Amino acid sequence: MFRYVGIFLYFYCSVALSEPPYSGGETTVFNTSVNAFSMPAKNLSLIRREGFFIGNAFFKNPWVTAPASTAARDGLGPLFNTNACQSCHVKDGRGRPPLDDENMISMLVRISIDVPHAKQYLQQLTENGLIAEPVYGGQIQNRAIRGVKPEAEVTLEWLESEFKFPDGAVVKLRKPEVVFSDLAYGELDENTVVSARVAPAMIGMGLLEAIPESTLKQFVTTQKQSKSGVSGKLNYVWDRRLQKKMPGRFGWKAAMPNVKQQVASAFSGDIGITSNLFPESSCTSKQVKCLSAPSGGEPELTNEILDFVTFYSKSLAVPARRNMDDASVQRGEEIFAEINCNSCHVETMLTGADKEFPEYSQQEIHPYTDLLLHDMGEGLADGMSEFEAQGTEWRTPPLWGIGLLQTVNEHTNLLHDGRARNIEEAILWHQGEALNSRNAYAKLSYEDRQKLLDFINSL
């Protein structure tokens, strides 16, 4: 009897690490609690975990106005959205649009101007991929320190529409329109383009950074050759450290080449904390009181703290899949492939070698993304371009962990602006390159649609 159990265990363990429950390879954690997105990578050594916890403190705790006795964490603002990373990436998870009577907290609004290419904008286009609004900058900061006016009040109005399934079922959809009031520094430029974005979940970032560029290029080729209408492309974005263009991987339009630059840009744009990588303050030259407010140092963020927060951001583990023995989940997985969802939400790939992060190297992972930009049609378009990404284009978001969103964040709002209230609404917004998949989903029987949703909820 014991021998059989032993044989069973032997087979079980020998296949386990490469099987899909281990979405993040050896970094995968088995945690289905409210803290499911907050765990360090499983294979991070005890010593390396110290850095994780130091980074966590700077991610969680609020920054304060300068000058302050806690010099390490002063320099908030003058303009900012909120005073801690955690306020947007709630429990290391995802933000959401405000409810009717709430302020906008866990999402932000980017702005840029859309003008014909002109010589004076070349540097901005090369380094930022867009042209910032001349007075307000690249993002509306709806809060400010005392003595400085916040840029504006931001609210959303919802435009409702209906989707009718061939079988007669009807689903209500909603799309946000951004409304600015109390614009403190005058009217916005008439060519202003607006993009509302929720904070994405923080899991698996080190693994996504470790996927070789050659793998991403292979996805481009495979999609082109498939002639299925799905044809993604890499964003090529400015790497501030290397001073050259690199593949974009992070942000809803893949405008950031690596986690460190994304983190430094969040410190500068969202919290108003300058660093060597992002020395620019949150004030533009037209915001005079903002410019004369006291600073928390030059720069406000030390390289050391930036490194800790980057290490933390790269090390949050992906939770394992659940309910994989469920027949409905198994059939849903087949349907996911049959209707070509997996052409963009690619299941399996290998990470490359990274000497600094052996934990994320050579891992077989199941992120359900190709990290490529896709034209998703006018319904989802924000009209904003960032580097190579056009107004209709978005990066395929990873789907790992998506079924735990309700547990961690107590909502299931999806897509770049959180408009979808659940997975089905998110699918129904897919158009452009994904229109065939969306239509194939709509043609499924009610039962098969539920199976597909069960599968996605098991990720």
Determine which residue in the list 136, 238, 311, 441 makes contact with ligand HEC, applying CB under 6 A.
Answer: 441
User: Can the peptide bond before residue 150 be classed as cis, meaning omega within 30 degrees of 0?
Assistant: no
Stretch that binds ligand HEC, among 40-48, 147-155, 185-193, 373-381 (CB under 6 A): 373-381
According to CB under 6 A, which residues from 33 to 62 bind ligand HEC? 59
Binding mask 418-437 for ligand HEC (x = CB under 6 A): -----x--xx--x--xx--x
Note whether 252 binds ligand HEC by CB under 6 A: yes
**Lookup: tokens for 399:** 């789907």
Whole-angstrom distance, CA of residue 209 vs CA of residue 207: 5
Whole-angstrom distance, CA of residue 381 vs CA of residue 391: 5
Determine which residue in the list 260, 416, 421, 449 makes contact with ligand HEC, applying CB under 6 A.
Answer: 416
Note whether 357 binds ligand HEC by CB under 6 A: no
**Lookup: tokens for 180:** 């600015």
The contacts of residue 175 (CB under 8 Å, 6+ apart) are: 158, 159, 161, 379, 419
Maximum pairwise Cα distance, the chain: 80
Note whether 250 binds ligand HEC by CB under 6 A: yes
Least distance in Å: CB of 210 to ligand HEC?
Answer: 14
Note whether 394 binds ligand HEC by CB under 6 A: yes
Question: Alpha carbon of 253 to those of 20, 258, 345, 396: distances in Å?
Answer: 27, 13, 15, 9
**Lookup: tokens for 295:** 């600073």
Q: Total residues at the site for ligand HEC (CB under 6 A)?
A: 55
Stretch that binds ligand HEC, among 34-42, 70-78, 235-243, 374-382 (CB under 6 A): 374-382
Could you tell me which of 359, 351, 432 has the C-alpha nearest to residue 394?
Answer: 432
Binding mask 285-324 for ligand HEC (x = CB under 6 A): ------------------------x---x-----------
Determine which residue in the list 266, 293, 371, 442 makes contact with ligand HEC, applying CB under 6 A.
Answer: 266
Whole-angstrom distance, CA of residue 9 vs CA of residue 41: 24
Whole-angstrom distance, CA of residue 295 vs CA of residue 66: 6
Least distance in Å: CB of 226 to ligand HEC?
Answer: 11
According to CB under 6 A, which residues from 164 to 203 bind ligand HEC? 197-200, 202
Could you count the other beta carbons within 10 Å of the beta carbon of residue 135? 17
Note whether 396 binds ligand HEC by CB under 6 A: yes
Determine which residue in the list 148, 178, 210, 263 makes contact with ligand HEC, applying CB under 6 A.
Answer: 263
Could you tell me which of 58, 57, 56, 62 has the C-alpha nearest to residue 38?
Answer: 56
Whole-angstrom distance, CA of residue 58 vs CA of residue 193: 33
| Distance from chain centroid for Cα 7 | 43
Least distance in Å: CB of 228 to ligand HEC?
Answer: 9
Match 């329109």 to its residue by tokens: 177
Note whether 340 binds ligand HEC by CB under 6 A: yes
Match 């939400």 to its residue by tokens: 345
Looking at the Cβ atoms of 145 and 309, the one nearer to ligand HEC is 309
According to CB under 6 A, which residues from 75 to 134 bind ligand HEC? 81-82, 85, 87-89, 107-108
Stretch that binds ligand HEC, among 18-26, 33-41, 121-129, 391-399 (CB under 6 A): 391-399
The contacts of residue 267 (CB under 8 Å, 6+ apart) are: 273, 274, 275, 278, 301, 306, 309
**Lookup: tokens for 82:** 């909120």
Instruction: Return residues touching ligand HEC (CB under 6 A).
Output: 59, 81-82, 85, 87-89, 107-108, 197-200, 202, 205, 230, 250-253, 259, 262-263, 266-267, 270-271, 309, 313, 339-341, 343-345, 374, 376, 380, 394, 396-397, 399, 414-416, 423, 426-427, 430, 433-434, 437-438, 441, 456
